[in-house]
Amino acid sequence: MTATAPAPAPSPGTKSDERLLKTSPLKKLLGRPELGSVVGAVAVFVFFAIVADSFVQATSLATVLYAASTIGIMAVPVALLMIGGEFDLSAGVMVTTSALVSSMFSYQMTANVWVGVLVSLLVTLAVGVFNGVMLTRTDPPSFIITLGTFLMLTGMNLGFTKLISGTVSTKSIADMEGFSSAKSVFASTITVGGVDFKITIVWWLALIAVATWILLRTRVGNWIFAVGGGEDAARAVGVPVAATKIGLYMGVAFGAWVSGQHLLFSYDVVQSGEGVGNELIYIIAAVIGGCLITGGYGSAVGAAVGALIFGMVSKGIVFAEWNPDWFKFFLGVMLLLATLLNHWVRKRAEATK
Amino acid sequence: MGCSSTGGKRAEDARKAAAAGGRAAVDTPRWTFGMVTHSGDGDTFWDIVQNGAKQAAVKDNIKFLYAHDDEAQQQAQLVDSYIDKKVDGIIVTLAKPDAMKGALARAEKAGIPVITVNSGSAESKEFGALTHIGQDETIAGEAVGDELNKRGKKKALCILHEQGNVGHEQRCEGAKKTFEGKMENLYVTGTNMPDVQSSIEARLQTDKSVDAVVTLGAPFADAAVKAKEGAGSKAEIDTFDLNEKVAAGLKSGSLGFAVDQQPYLQGYEAVDLLWLYKYNADVLGGGKPVLTGPQIITKDQAAELEEYAKRGTR
């Protein structure tokens, strides 16, 4: 059961009800939003496997997966938000905010670090609620609202950190109680067959599973597609538009909280000026994964594959020993190709319906 | 007819002919060294570091790889990539030391020697690196404070162009420590030159008593000079680091002095010391950082250095 494309109009002369139209499994597969990105991911993988020998070692793939997961944890909720027809430009710095709040609260209160982690969850979710409420209660589009939040958070990250810690980075909390247990949850390493995998990969997979279940198996998922597809129509049939959008922003905030705690417990110190610009990377990952900028179409799995492509390209360039001056150029070319391929596959899939 | 007898490509080619070229001077195996810095895109300072590293790599028969990212997490992942590639040596900057700790530990576990350059003198040894090559930012800052006292300055601005860079904070703090006048910090967005200029200009307009402006990077000295002209201020512009424009500015007197940390030397020595370690297990510095600065440069040395700066080695 997909709630994506509108059902095809019944051809004249059909007697059966088109809502009960049986589609073959292959056609179902071809109609999935993430199909194009999966093809793109395979193409990118094969390409780097050919040009860089070291790319296909298990340790290298673990590094690539880690890079993908740090983007993917955010790309999944951002994709949900985009399916709901909105943007969040504050997602990048929100990660840093979440890490800063957690670290500084624990340090200043000399509390068990888990207290800081939970306070940080509340603060980050509050930022998400703020974004959602501002959007649903006022007129400007989410692009403008969250641009404001982005600038405010960037300033607050730096301002508060300087004010409280006296420097531009937080103080180390590595010697405080609860640090090691929190580290094992957010930033530990799992060794499988001699290869170290970061726990963020597990978080990433869990988020993909939850997001996919919400989208495809629950009423909320239908609401998300509905508000993204047509807000007024959705409101007319009784979808709680405001609540859905606020919930989506809280989802992004939750992702930012997970990413932020990972940053904090990986490095036990947070730099206040980081995270700017990453919000675009999350959006790019979602778009490569088949989300439409206009909303109403996309998938969580697609966004995750988009993050994987991003991770493969950014690390593949290093493994292939290409000149780093051209790094951004290659990244742009790869992303463009992946998106075009994606689009082409989708067009083909729709043509066969 | 229509030819310029000064400057241009011809002058550059003449300089190139006088610069060191070369090929391998040793027949040790062709080792691969990877360098990962915290530089953003298109940073002149890191071009000079790379020039030094590449020159040493040619001499020592080394395959030299370079990558950079200004986000700590990304920088750590790049180091991981080089470890995965099983390079024979890693050169890394510790501008954000805590983020790099894990990556350096992994390099040690993989048996890859690491040399830290430019920033992180305090953490280098603790993280298991062989040697640190660079300038102690606090000492460099103190040298600036002394020089400002010598010049009889009373009120200075310290222009920080990279929020979040601990080394930059140390420079300004060092200068504050030895400077007998009053020194204030001004934060600007280094990636946006017009913003740098207008911020400094606004500050100079509101505070006429400022008689010295210290920028922390060579490209920003030029913006500060323009800001000073715009604000009609009498302040002397001084800077950390050197480039062609700064050398020319010192020569013409539009800049007071520069504090150089010899980036060419940082790249060159890092590669060379890794080679020495691989070849002969030599370690330089006796457990202390090897300092490449500060070197105060004034009008007197500017003419000679301008030539080298144009060549991209100073």
Instruction: Determine, yes or no, domain membership for B289.
Output: no
Instruction: Give the least confident one: A11-15, A321-325, A343-347, B257-261.
Output: A11-15
CB contact B126 to A (< 8 Å):
no
Q: Is the pTM of this model over 0.75?
A: yes
What integer is the mean pLDDT of A164-172? 83
Domain of B65 in residue numbering reads as: 29-135+262-283
Instruction: Determine, yes or no, domain membership for B123.
Output: yes
Using an 8 Å CB-CB cutoff, list chain B residues near A274: 71-73, 164
| SS3 of chain A | CCCCCCCCCCCCCCCCCHHHCCCCHHHHHHCCCCHHHHHHHHHHHHHHHHHCHHHHCHHHHHHHHHHHHHHHHHHHHHHHHHHCCCCCCCHHHHHHHHHHHHHHHHHHHCCCHHHHHHHHHHHHHHHHHHHHHHHHHCCCCHHHHHHHHHHHHHHHHHHHHHHHHCCCECCCCCCCCCHHHHHHHHCCEEEECCEEEECHHHHHHHHHHHHHHHHHHCHHHHHHHHHHHCHHHHHHCCCCHHHHHHHHHHHHHHHHHHHHHHHHHHHCCCECCCCCCHHHHHHHHHHHCCCCCCCCCCCHHHHHHHHHHHHHHHHHHHHCCCCHHHHHHHHHHHHHHHHHHHHHHHHHHHHCC
Q: Do B102 and A273 touch (CB under 8 A)?
A: no
| Residue A34: per-residue pLDDT | 84
Residues B118 and B192 in one domain: no
Q: Do B81 and A59 touch (CB under 8 A)?
A: no
Residues B126 and B271 in one domain: yes
**Which of the pair, A19 or A235, is modelled with greater confidence?**
A235
Q: How many domains does chain A have?
A: 1
Residues B103 and B244 in one domain: no
Residues B222 and B113 in one domain: no
Q: Which of A60, A169, A315 is nearest residue B166 as measured by Cβ atoms?
A: A169
CB contact B54 to A (< 8 Å):
no
CB contact B287 to A (< 8 Å):
no
Q: Do A167 and B166 touch (CB under 8 A)?
A: yes
Instruction: Determine, yes or no, domain membership for B192.
Output: yes
Closest CA relative to residue A73, chosen from A63, A65, A61: A65
Per-residue pLDDT band at A10 (split at 50, 70, 90): very low
Q: Do A54 and B85 touch (CB under 8 A)?
A: yes
| Residue A187: per-residue pLDDT | 93
Q: How many domains does chain B have?
A: 2
Instruction: Determine, yes or no, domain membership for B298.
Output: no
Instruction: Give the least confident one: A213-217, A258-262, A277-281, A331-335.
Output: A331-335
Residues B270 and B202 in one domain: no
Does the pLDDT value for residue A104 go beyond 70?
Answer: yes
Residues B102 and B195 in one domain: no
Instruction: Determine, yes or no, domain membership for B23.
Output: no
Instruction: Determine, yes or no, domain membership for A254.
Output: yes
Domain of A84 in residue numbering reads as: 35-187+195-346
% of chain A at pLDDT higher than 70: 93
Using an 8 Å CB-CB cutoff, list chain B residues near A321: 65
Residues B125 and B237 in one domain: no
| Residue A20: per-residue pLDDT | 67
| Residue A1: per-residue pLDDT | 44
Residues B113 and B77 in one domain: yes
| Residue A273: per-residue pLDDT | 80
Residues B119 and B200 in one domain: no
Instruction: Tell me the average pLDDT of chain A.
Output: 88
What integer is the mean pLDDT of A158-171? 85
Using an 8 Å CB-CB cutoff, list chain B residues near A268: 98
Residues B251 and B268 in one domain: no
Q: Do A60 and B84 touch (CB under 8 A)?
A: yes
Instruction: Determine, yes or no, domain membership for A54.
Output: yes
| Residue A7: per-residue pLDDT | 47
Which residue out of A73, A168, A325 would a mutagenesis test of the B interface target, given it has the greatest number of B Cβ atoms within 10 Å?
A168
What's the CATH code of the domain at A140?
Answer: 1.10.3470
Instruction: Determine, yes or no, domain membership for B155.
Output: yes
| Residue B41: per-residue pLDDT | 76
Residues B162 and B196 in one domain: yes
Q: What is the pLDDT along chain B (314 residues), one digit of tens a residue?
A: 577 777 788 777 777 666 667 788 899 999 999 999 998 777 778 989 999 999 999 999 999 999 999 888 999 999 999 999 999 999 999 988 888 999 999 999 999 999 999 988 889 999 999 999 999 889 999 999 999 999 999 999 999 988 767 788 899 999 999 999 999 999 888 878 888 988 999 899 889 999 999 999 988 999 999 999 988 899 999 999 998 889 999 999 999 999 999 999 999 999 999 999 999 999 999 989 999 989 999 999 998 898 898 888 99
Instruction: Return the top range by mean pLDDT from A45-54, A153-162, B270-279.
Output: B270-279
Instruction: Determine, yes or no, domain membership for A351.
Output: no
Q: Do B77 and A315 touch (CB under 8 A)?
A: yes
Torsion of CA A152, A157, A162, A167, to 10 degrees: -150
What's the CATH code of the domain at B119?
Answer: 3.40.50.2300
Residues B155 and B255 in one domain: yes
What integer is the mean pLDDT of A67-80? 96
Instruction: Determine, yes or no, domain membership for B104.
Output: yes
